[in-house]
A and B are shown apart, each in its own frame.
Chain A
Amino acid sequence: MSTESRIQIETKNLNVSFHDHVVLQNIDIKIPAKKLTAIIGPSGCGKTTLLKSFNRLLEIQDDVKIAGQILVDGKNILRPHLDVPDIRKKMGLLSQKPYPLPMSIRDNVAYGLRIHSNKNKDEIEKTVEHCLQEVGLWNEVKGRLHDPASQLSVGQQQRLCLARAIAVEPEVVLCDEPTSALDPLAAQQIEKLLLKLKKDYTVVLVTHTLRQAKRVADYVIFLYFGMVIEQGPADIFFNNPKNPETKAYLSGEIS
């Protein structure tokens, strides 16, 4: 990791279990700010769990135990009595499948704005347009902002979800295999957007396709059976991995 880069998210000895089944063990990672960090590993290795621990989304499920520390900008977000919605607001989420809220296209983007800011109607309208422009959706939807968001194509829905996420001005965008449900063209659009986003946001991308990680990542974290095997800058990770398991994964021997 280059020295000038600030650490946005850091975990210390993070352990997560569901129903007494250990999913993440002793996770110590550092995620640099305003870079794209890819979390890779075979399915079921805990990538999504790790991602959702960053904005405390794990705890809405039953029987989850979380121990250790997650430092966001140096502050442990697992401390009790914190304003959880405020933590989540700083981290936008893009999930595997797009989940537009059951409302119009415009209201989807305005949803978070109306909750957090006391912007007036015109300002909200402007922000909605700006966010939709950012994700390249404005020209496709400007004539039907009042239509239900569910009428959009899946690829458009995913971009809408991204617009919804960035509308509340988060610092981090968490992406959980955001292209896995999309056709190649739509996937490419999302990938391009992620590369654009990392100028302004810290992007964390969970992906199970190595090629995608190679294309976009600045920094890579390799998880295997709930443990961090190796992490480091992408060029070193891909060209000169140290761990034998990383080598095996990169060469396709384990998947």
Chain B
Amino acid sequence: MNRRKLRDFLGTKLMLVVTVAVSLLFFSIFFLLLFKSLLIFEQHSLTEILFSSSWNPGFNQFGLYPIIVGTILVTGIALIIAVPISILSAVYIAEYAPKKVRKVIRPFIDVLAGVPSVVYGLCALLFLVPFVKDVVAPWFGIETTGYCILTASITLAIMVFPIIISLCVESFHAIPLSLREASLSVGATKWETVKKVIFRASAPSVISAVFLGFGRAFGETIAVNMVVGGITRTPSTLFSPGQTLASLIVSAYSDMMSSPLYESALMMVALILFIVVLLFNIFGIFVLRRANKRWNV
């Protein structure tokens, strides 16, 4: 074998090995988490863990229900706020804004998407917490410290905006001009074109953008931890303090070495995070396929 062919051979094999190693990470992490969680499953049933509402590791109580509720509320409300606003903003940037405005806005949004989450957390701590405490909660006649589910949701929504906007703008831009012309030339207005043609043609990409936004919101740890309140009680209102799965791990990891059972419990929380993200990815692929099948252009 001459040297060129040898290099080609080695290069190919090296890339293969690296790729296999990276893929193996997936399985190693999964099995590590599973293995470490076994201890807690030996002593507590899955139903008890998922549906019991007392989390009190010192007293051998590992009910995740309040934290699961907190996670669903925080992530769900964040997306309810973020998705419509982001999509409307993306439509404006991609379809309506003059070229100059577009050129100025886009880099800002891309930078926002890359700002470390702790910065968002700090800003939320300084502005959002007092705002929710002094302005929003009094509207509803509720007293709160400001460290609550709603504050965490708004913080996450703000963090998710730039991701969804950026991806949606890109997907709107990828739609051929001629498809717009096809709609406009039968006398449709711009908004009719956006609503009936652009949204449909870009549905698969918009759906992936929302899923990515979900991933970011669901897994976000530090910014949530700074404002959510960190109380493991089932929240009674959106102004109650709460806890999320990811935030729980970061709050508790310094204590977790105190008992093997506590450590195992946190590993199990990590396993839940892992599995949910995995399921959502699979679900995402499934939804994308359906959307593509239905509306492929």
| A interface residues with partner B (beta carbon < 8 Å) | 52, 55, 57, 60-63, 85-86, 88-93, 95-97, 99-103, 111-112, 115-116, 148, 150, 161, 164-165, 167-168, 174
Contact = CB atoms under 8 A, between A and B. Distances in A.
A85 B99 CA distance: 22
A244 B99 CA distance: 42
Given A102-B201, A112-B187, 4 more contacts: A60-B184, A63-B99, A88-B186, A150-B297
Contacts of A61: 177
Contacts of B188: 85, 111-112, 115
A168 B186 contact: yes
Contact of B181 (A57, A62, A102, A115): A57
A116 to B, nearest CB: 6
Contacts, number: 84
A167 B187 CA distance: 11
B181 A93 contact: yes
A101 B187 contact: no
A112 B189 CA distance: 11
Interface string B178-200: 11111111111100100011001
By DSSP majority rule, is chain A's interface helix, strand, loop, or mixed? Answer: mixed
B178 A85 contact: no
Residue from B178, B200, B201, B296 having most chain A Cβ neighbours under 10 A: B178
Contacts of A111: 183, 186, 188, 196
Shortest 8 CB-CB contacts between residues of A and residues of B: A89-B187, A112-B186, A93-B185, A102-B200, A102-B295, A99-B182, A85-B187, A62-B99
Nearest to B197: A101
Interface residues of B, dominant DSSP: helix
A77 to B, nearest CB: 13
B294 interface: yes
B11 interface: no
B176 interface: yes
Given A102-B201, A148-B295, A88 B184 contact: yes
Interface string B259-297: 000000000000000000000000000000000001111
B181 A85 contact: no
A161 B182 contact: yes
A92 B187 CA distance: 9
Interface in B150-190: 176-189
A102 B201 CA distance: 6
A185 B188 CA distance: 32
B182 A148 contact: no
Contacts of B187: 85-86, 88-90, 112, 115-116, 168
B185 A91 contact: yes
B297 A92 contact: no
B182 A85 contact: no
B192 A115 contact: yes
B179 A99 contact: yes
Contact of B182 (A52, A63, A93, A168): A93
A60 B200 contact: no
A52 B181 CA distance: 10
B186 A150 contact: no
Contacts of A96: 178
A85 to B, nearest CB: 5
B296 A102 contact: yes
B178 A55 contact: no
Contacts of B200: 101-103
A102 B197 contact: yes
A99 B177 CA distance: 10
Contacts of B297: 99-100, 102, 150
Contacts of B196: 101, 103, 111
B195 to A, nearest CB: 11
9 contacts: A60-B180, A101-B183, A102-B295, A102-B297, A111-B186, A115-B188, A148-B295, A150-B297, A167-B186
Nearest to A108: B182
Nearest to B202: A102
A102 B181 CA distance: 14
B186 A115 contact: yes
